[in-house]
Amino acid sequence: MKLAILASAVALAVTSIPAKADVVSDWAELQTMADRAQDNPSAPYDPASMAAFGRLSLAMFEAANAADPRYASYLGIKPVRAGTSVDAAVASAAHAVLSSLYPGKTKDFDDALTLALDRVPEGRAREDGIALGKATAKAALERGGWDDKAKMSYYRPTGPAGRWAPSNVPFPPEMSAGKPWFLKSIDQFRIADPVALDSAAWAASFDEVKRKGARESKERTPAETLKARFWAFYEFDPVLRQIASQPGRSIVQNARMYALFSMAADDLTLVMAEGKMHHMFWRPINAIRTADQDGNDATEMDASWVPLLSTPNQPEYPCGHCMFASLSSTILSAEGVPPAGYAFTTERMPAVRITVPDLATYAREVSYSRILAGVHFRATNDISDELGRNVARYAMERFALPL
C-alpha cells in the first residue's frame, strides 16, 4: 500500500511549505507528491525508485543524527562538528535522494532546497550541513533499493492445463528483488498455510464475509459501508505530521520516526508480496461462488455473490491493509498520542474524517473494514495483524537505539 499523496504535483508543495513546519515532514510530503505525479498504472515498474520513502527517510535521519547525535547510526555515519546545521543537513540529504530517484522533478526539488536553505543563516554551519546531507544521501542510496543480483519471482497462472486463470500480474517481479532493511531474507516471516478448508474456522470466516461483505448486504450498517470505502484508500502522511508536530519533539527524533516507520514498511511490503505469491489463496468472491468445491458442508455456494468493493488483483493471504495498520500502530504508538487523537482523511471522500483515540483502534478498524469490503477473511486478518506486529518489533529492536 502506498502512503497517501497530498497533491498532484511537486510544484504545489514548494509554495505550500509552512514557514515553521518540520523539515523532515516537509520533504516526506514532497516525496509522496513526486511519487503521485509519476504514477502511471500502464507504465512499466521502475525498480530505480524502489523503497524511495525508506531511502529518503534514512538519509534524513542519518543527517540529523550526525549533526545532533541521539541514536546509534544505521549506516555507520559518525557525528560531525558541533554546530552543524541540522536543517541544512536534512534538506540537503532529502534533495540529493529525491533528485536521484525522480530526475524529472529536479527543478522542483532545487526550488524546495533554495527555500529551505534560505531559512538557515549563511556560514560554516550551513555549509557543513550541506556537505553532511550529501554524504548521508549517497550512503542511503547505496544501501537500499533493488538488488540486481537477486533472483526474481515470476507469477505463473495456476490451474489445470487448458483452463483459464487470471493473467494480470499481481506484483512486478522486481518487487521480489528488493533489498530488505532488517530482514535476513524476504521469506523470513513467511506465515503458515491458511486455515484448512474443511475446518470450522474456515466456515465461520466464509460465512461472515459472505453476509457482511456482500454489495447488497442487509447486515452491514450505513456507517460500516462508509468505513469500508474510507479505509480502503485513506491517507497516512497527515498522521505522521500530527505526531511530528507535537510540542517538544526534535528534528532528529522526527527523522528517526520517519526512517523506522518507512524502512519497516518497506520490509513489510516484501513479506506481504512473498506470502501472497507463495500461498496463492483465493479471495472471497472465488470461494463463495465455488463453495461447492471446498469440501466443507457448512459453506453454501452463491454463484452470483459480489463484494462491496472491487477485489484487488492479488492473492488474498496475507492481508496487506491489516499488516500495514498493525505495523504502523506498533511503531508509532511509542511516539506519543496527540491530545486530540489521530485524524484520518482520504481524497476520495473529502467530506469524511475519522478520528480515533489511539492507533490500536485504528488497526482494528482497518482490519475489520476489509471484511466489510468483501475482500478478506477474518482468519486471514487475525494472522496478518500479528504478522505486522512481529515485523514491526523486529525492526524496532534493530534500528537507531538511543545512545
Task: Flag the least confident range among 8-17, 183-192, 312-321.
Answer: 8-17
Task: Flag the least confident range among 153-157, 266-270, 308-312.
Answer: 153-157
Task: Give the SS3 label for residue 232.
Answer: helix
Terminal Cα distance for the chain, rounded? 33
Rounded-to-integer distance, Cα 124 and Cα 129, Å: 8
Higher pLDDT, 304 or 39: 304
Q: What percent of the chain has pLDDT over 70?
A: 94
- Per-residue model confidence (pLDDT) at position 41: 67
Taking residues 331-343, report their average pLDDT. 91
> Among the residues of 237-375, which ranges form H helices?
237-244, 251-279, 284-289, 320-332, 359-372
How wide is the angle at C-alpha 195 spanned by C-alphas 190 and 201, nearest 5°? 145
Residue 237 has pLDDT above 60, yes or no: yes
Contacts for 15-22 with beta carbons within 8 Å, 24 or more apart?
Answer: 17/112, 17/115, 17/116, 19/119, 22/241, 22/244, 22/245, 22/249, 22/251, 22/254
The H helix count followed by the E strand count for the chain is 14, 2
Upstream peptide bond of 166 is cis (omega within 30 degrees of 0): no
Radius of gyration of the CA atoms of the chain, in A? 22
Average pLDDT, the chain: 90
Q: Please say whether the beta carbons of 322 and 366 come within 8 A.
A: yes
Taking residues 306-311, report their average pLDDT. 97
- Per-residue model confidence (pLDDT) at position 149: 79
What does the domain layout of the chain look like in residue ranges?
A: 10-143, 200-396
Residue 10 has pLDDT above 80, yes or no: no
Query: For 40, phi and psi rounded to 5 degrees?
Result: -145, 110
Residue 26's H or E segment, with its range, is helix 23-38
Q: Please say whether the beta carbons of 367 and 320 come within 8 A.
A: no
**pLDDT tens figures, 346-369:** 999 999 999 999 999 999 999 999
Q: Please say whether the beta carbons of 226 and 365 come within 8 A.
A: no
Residue 36 has pLDDT above 90, yes or no: no
- The DSSP output letter for 170 is S
**pLDDT tens figures, 58-115:** 999 999 999 999 999 999 999 999 999 999 999 999 999 999 999 989 999 999 999 9
Residue 20 has pLDDT above 70, yes or no: no
Q: Please say whether the beta carbons of 99 and 106 come within 8 A.
A: yes
Rounded-to-integer distance, Cα 232 and Cα 225, Å: 11
Taking residues 141-153, report their average pLDDT. 84
Residue 194 has pLDDT above 50, yes or no: yes
Q: Is the CATH number 1.10.606.10 carried by domain 200-396? A: yes
Q: How confident is the model at residue 8 (pLDDT cuts 50, 70, 90)?
A: very low
Residue 47 has pLDDT above 90, yes or no: no
Q: How confident is the model at residue 396 (pLDDT cuts 50, 70, 90)?
A: very high
pTM: 0.92
Q: Please say whether the beta carbons of 19 and 241 come within 8 A.
A: no
**pLDDT tens figures, 238-269:** 999 999 999 999 999 999 999 999 999 999 99
- Per-residue model confidence (pLDDT) at position 155: 84
Task: Flag the least confident range among 90-94, 148-152, 223-227.
Answer: 148-152
Q: How confident is the model at residue 157 (pLDDT cuts 50, 70, 90)?
A: confident
